[in-house]
Amino acid sequence: MPALTYREAIRDAMSEAMRRDDDVFVMGEDIAEMGGSMGVTQGMLDEFGPDRVRNTPISEMAIVGAGIGAAVSGMRPIVEVMYQDFMTLAMEQLVQQAAKHRFMSGGQIKVPLTIRTQGGAGWSPGAQHAQQLEAWFLHVPGIKVVFASTPADARGLLWSSIYDDNPVVFFEHRTLYNLKGDVPAEIDGIELGRARVHREGEDVTIVATGRLVHEALKAAEEAEQDGISVEVVDPRTLLPLDEETIVASVRKTSRCVVAHEAVVRMGFGAEVAAIVQHQAFDYLDAPVERVGAKFAPIPFAPVMEEYVIPHAEDVLAAVRRTMGKD
């Protein structure tokens, strides 16, 4: 199995799709010569040319709108929105148009649009370039939401997103781009709506997303020294959500911690907690614990940023609380 970085895995999925299918193309701000703000599309212009690696004006509404138009016309566009914070500027197009066309046309119109966007804290980009806003999109019927945490998952999930006939928002975390891992020699799509168990355990289930998957795995190693066996589940796709795997894990361990970088209030973790309480209530030996960012804008100062966002020690503290060892 070859080893690729998270960045390379995403580029590989897009490039291979474009080699096989002339209907696939990429568009976004500075993605051609510059290769995108995070270098994900570097080199693609040389291979595919400016008609299929298209720089766009600085208008997220226009970029997403053009992507919708291309998608309903039979193409499979991959739109890059430079920062997920800027998705706010395209909400009308995404929520009112892309998410509704298939339903309102009785299935006659397909919208195979993939929107790649990156974000997250950890490098002091400030309050307008570091948010995790996945919960916004989970509230909208008609959109699928993906959040990969490893190179192999990023490649396989992006491949499946490109070939889904519904709009998909594909979240990437900027601090994972240099993460390296083995990927299959041949690209194979990963089914959307299928979770991954990164680590088996018996005492506590941690359901984690994005960067917090790796923080949860660190916390699990620390917990093991205390004699606590932790299972780590990565949903990978937040919508559709693999409730079955999550609930089965909690029924086995009887305890649950949900961890994400987004703020705790009204976050993805609240939905997971509700699902667990409803479907595994009789199995729970403690309340569901939630771990996330404090309810504040992300500060610019590194020490304050570190204070606001969650880390492995926060996940470990939640594990100990649910075990009655705080």
Per-residue pLDDT tens for 268-321?
A: 999 999 999 999 999 999 999 999 999 999 999 999 999 999 999 999 999 999
Mean of pLDDT over the chain:
97
The whole-number average pLDDT for the span 19-26 is: 97
Dihedral of CA atoms 263, 65, 116, 84 in degrees, nearest 10, equals -30
pLDDT recorded at residue 160? 98
Spatial separation of the C-alpha atoms in residues 246 and 74, rounded to whole Å: 36
- pLDDT tens column, 212-262: 999 999 999 999 999 999 999 999 999 999 999 999 999 999 999 999 999
The answer on pLDDT for 1 being more than 80 is no
Between CA 214 and CA 86 the distance in angstroms is 26
Assess contact for 101 and 88: CB atoms under 8 A.
no
Q: Is 129 a catalytic residue?
A: yes
Q: Which residues pair with 169 in a beta bridge?
A: 115, 145
* Choice among 8, 29, 129, 271 that is catalytic: 129
- Compute the CA torsion angle 9, 52, 39, 92 (nearest 10 deg): -90
pLDDT per position as a tens digit, 73-122: 999 999 999 999 999 999 999 999 999 999 999 999 999 999 999 999 99
Supply the pLDDT for residue 54: 97
Whether the predicted pLDDT of 142 surpasses 90: yes
Q: What is the DSSP letter of 182?
A: E
Active-site residue among 8, 29, 60, 271?
A: 60
- Residue 60: the pLDDT is 96
DSSP label at 283?
G
pLDDT-based confidence at residue 325 (cuts at 50, 70, 90): confident
- For the stretch 119-133, pLDDT in tens is 999 989 999 999 999
Q: What pLDDT band is residue 209 in, cutting at 50, 70 and 90?
A: very high
The closest alpha carbon to 230, from 242, 240, 222, belongs to 222
Contact yes or no for 99/59 (Cβ under 8 A): no
- Rounded-to-integer distance, Cα 206 and Cα 212, Å: 10
> Which ranges of the chain does DSSP label H, i.e. alpha helix?
6-20, 44-48, 60-72, 91, 101-104, 134-138, 151-162, 211-225, 243-253, 268-280, 302-308, 312-322
pLDDT in the model for residue 234: 98
Is 311 an active-site residue? Answer: no
Is 113:167 a contact under the CB 8 Å cutoff? yes
Cα separation of 139 and 156, whole Å?
25
DSSP-based helix, strand, coil % in the chain, nearest 5: 40, 20, 40
- As a whole number, mean pLDDT of residues 43-69 equals 97
Could you give all domains of the chain from N- to C-terminal order, each with its CATH number?
3-182 (3.40.50.970), 196-322 (3.40.50.920)
Mean pLDDT (whole number) for 15-25: 97
Evaluate whether 168 touches 145 at the Cβ level (below 8 Å): yes
